[in-house]
Structure 1
Amino acid sequence: MYKSIIIGTGPAGLTAAIYLARANLNPLVIEGQPGGQLTLTTEVENFPGFIDGIMGPDLMDNMRKQAERFGAKFIRGWVTETDLSKRPFMLTVDGVGRLETESLILSTGASANLLGGVPGEKDYIGRGVSTCATCDGFFFRNKEVLVVGGGDSAMEEANFLTKFASKVTVVHRRAELRASKIMQSKAQQNKKISWALRNEPTEVIAGDRGVTGLRVRNVDTGAEEIIKTDGIFIATGHTPNTSFLNGQIRTDHTGYIEVVPGTTETNIPGVFACGDVQDSRYRQAITAAGSGGMAAIDCEKFLESVH
């Protein structure tokens, strides 16, 4: 029986672990993908306290060691079943077995939707391929970049990138964009944005120093060409990692966990959510870490109230 279990080891989960461990609650942290999305990032320059930046994996490793220093315990595995119908909550972890806990913090994040089946796409994440303009746009100052996607997130990323890049080209396989009219209009009026519509990405082209181009196929003619670029931003949305909950936690229509405004409380007392799994708007390491601290404080107060 654990007082608290945290699922997820990104900035939110690890911050929650630090806070709970310092409160002598000896949390158990379940690692799926150690370090979360930040392990896919090279240099992080917008996390406070690191004047010269820090590598994403190093930042996560530091946070993990800090949590361990105060007594947090870690196990590796994927949660395959949950029973949140009564306390203690029951979890089944692949390769570990069944666990019981008085409280639960969900910090499983949201995975960027990749194109899928495009050679080089995964291989060059952090080396010219990115899923976050806010995180990586600064590295492409005065360079030419591509944004792949046709929804609101793609238009938002394209407009944001024009603050840094000399040219932004939007690649989309359809002639029509899925983005709202206002977002389309804003992008179309931006002189730094050009368009490569009716083109489907087929391969990321790269050299020793990273991405150099994107091979695309014209959906009308079948003709292929390589669009030269310094960076490729994939903006096809995110999917919150909540499927293992089997609908026991209330979510919005896109799958993000709903919390009581101003807290990390879910619809089930004793279950809390923090980080990107409940944040479809900001999705930043620092906001995730902040909500992790909130979840730990909410969790600690809950445990005090039931004992």
Structure 2
Amino acid sequence: MTGATRHTRLLIIGSGPAGYTAGIYAARAALDPVLVQGLQPGGQLTITTDVENWPGDVTVLGPALMERMEAQARHIGVDVVTDMIASVDLSQHPFVAVGESGAPYRADTLVIATGAQARWLGLDSEQRYRGSGVSACATCDGFFFRGRTVAVVGGGNSAVEEALFLTNFATKVYLIHRRAALRADRTNQARLFANPRIEMIWASEVTEVVGDAGGRVVGAIDIRHLPSGAINRVPVDGLFVAIGHHPATELFRGQIALDDEGYAVTAPDSTATSVPGVFAAGDVRDKIFRQAVTSAAMGCMAALEAERWLAERGLAEAGRNAA
């Protein structure tokens, strides 16, 4: 489906906490923002179960939280579009984007809120127990494993930091790494090896996630020792996969500055990218915290910075959003 070019003062690509919050703040600034939801409306929280660290909610289901954000955005005036951006051209201004529907968009400013996806092990059983003991975020889900035994997979700083964080709750943490040495920096390694709650499992990989007696939640994992091929079943209550994330920036490669891992590079204390008028918010630029609340905060920043950028150029006054 194609149609007339839609011109907006602010186009938001992505519909997680960063995207919806950017939309809410932009609508309050009378920018008539257009938000294109993308492949996974609501982002990673739509595949999360209980969320207990969102301010104002003792507990809330991830999909329900994102439904509320979308409803608030629509209520306040964000034009939420069910489409996926297939191409962008940031070499001209206004910027041009084209949806997979064929719909063209022109934007005076752009907020990139396309997020990032955790890298998984690729096991069918891992997918089966995601949200039921399998997680990619210790900060999000560690609290649920108080007094339990858990395992972390990975060997970099993220994996070591996840293992250390989990010792605040779990009584036993296994760290499973494919190699015989960690990639994490020496400071993190020293903290890890000094922690009596953490046990290393070297040169090994997880081959299967096994359910408990009822088959509803994780009860154990099968671990293959790579040099010998021997498989050992280890009882655990949770498995945390910490082998990295994929920031969704392929669409912008060669157009904005990206770091070595593909995350959007922004100015200090800012969401401004290397292209004037283009801002990046949420997990697409944050590889450290990756929390819903920090993504939402960056969405706020991006909208306010976009409004300021438009005002400085005399583009923030007149509504020019046309269907």
Q: Same fold (TM over 0.5)?
A: yes
1:200 maps to what in 2? 205
SS in 2 for 1:195: strand
2-side partners of 1:77 and 1:224: how far apart? 45
1:249 aligns with 2:253: no
Residue identity matched to 2:255: Q
Structure 1 residue corresponding to 2:128, chosen from 123, 126, 129: 123
Give me the whole-angstrom Cα distance separating, in 2, the residues matched to 1:205 and 1:306. 59
Structure 2 residue 149 is matched with structure 1 residue 144? yes
Partner of 1:11: 17
1:34 has 2:37 as partner: no
Give, in whole Å, the separation in 1 of the partners of 2:263 and 2:241: 20
Unaligned segments of structure 1, at least 5 residues: none
What residue number does 1:276 align with? 283
Query: How many angstroms apart in 2 are the aligned matches of 1:78 and 1:94?
Result: 6
- The counterpart of 1:237, out of the listed 232, 241, 244, is 244
Q: Could you give the per-residue CA deviations for residues 53-98 of structure 1, whole angstroms, max 9, x where no partner exists?
A: 1111111110110000011122223322110001111112112432
Q: Structure 2 matches for 1:26-105, cutoff 5 A?
A: 26-32=32-38, 33-50=40-57, 52-105=58-111
Cα deviation code 1:100-121 (max 9, x no counterpart):
11110001112111122x1221
Aligned residue-pair number: 305
How much does 1:209 deviate? Answer: 2.8
Q: Which runs of 5+ in 2 are unaligned?
A: 1-6, 315-323
Question: Residues of 2 paired with 1:220 and 1:264: CA distance?
Answer: 46
Take 2:125 and 2:233, find their aligned partners in 1: how far apart are those partners?
14
Quick check: 1:119–1:202 contact (8 Å CA) kept in 2?
A: no
1:143 deviates by 0.2
What is the rounded CA distance, in whole Å, between the counterparts of 2:128 and 2:180 in structure 1?
29
* Worse-matched range after superposition: 171-180 or 61-70: 171-180
CA distance in 1, matches of 2:26, 2:120: 34
What letter is aligned with 1:248? Q
TM-score by length of 1: 0.96
Does structure 2 conserve the Cα–Cα contact (< 8 Å) formed by 1:77 and 1:96? no
- Tell me the CA shift for residue 253 of structure 1: 2.0
Q: Alignment RMSD, CA only?
A: 1.3
Q: Distance in 1 between matches of 2:230 and 2:86?
A: 44
Structure 1 residue 262 corresponds to structure 2 residue 269: yes
Task: State yes or no: 1:178 paired with 2:183.
Answer: yes
Q: Which amino acid aligns with 2:120?
A: L
Amino acid paired to 2:199: S
Q: Which residue of 1 aligns with 2:321?
A: none
Task: Specify the SS of the correspondent of 2:258.
Answer: coil
Q: Secondary structure of 1:2's match?
A: strand
AA of the residue aligned to 1:160: F
| Aligned position for 1:221 | 228
| Residue from 156, 164, 176 that aligns with 2:169 | 164
Runs of 4+ aligned residues of structure 1 deviating over 4 Å after TM superposition are none
Q: Percent identity over the alignment?
A: 46
* SS of residue paired to 1:125: coil
- The 2-side partners of 1:166 and 1:263 are apart by 39
TM-score by length of structure 2 reads: 0.91
Match of 1:20 in 2: 26
TM superposition shift of 1:306: 2.1
The residue type equivalent to 2:150 in the other structure is V
Distance 1:9 1:273 in 2: 13
After TM superposition, give the deviation of residue 246 of structure 1 in Å: 2.4
| Comparing 271-280 and 143-152, the one that deviates more | 271-280
- CA distance in 2 between counterparts of 1:247 and 1:227 reads 45
Provide the residue aligned with 1:209 in structure 2. 216
Matched position secondary structure for 2:126? coil
Question: What is the distance in 1 between the residues matched to 2:136 and 2:75?
Answer: 32
* CA distance in 2: counterparts of 1:96 and 1:224, whole angstroms: 51
Q: Within 1, Cα distance between the matches of 2:10 and 2:43?
A: 20
Measure, in 2, the Cα distance between the counterparts of 1:213 and 1:76.
Answer: 40
Question: Which whole-Å CA distance do the structure 2 matches of 1:247 and 1:53 have between them?
Answer: 41
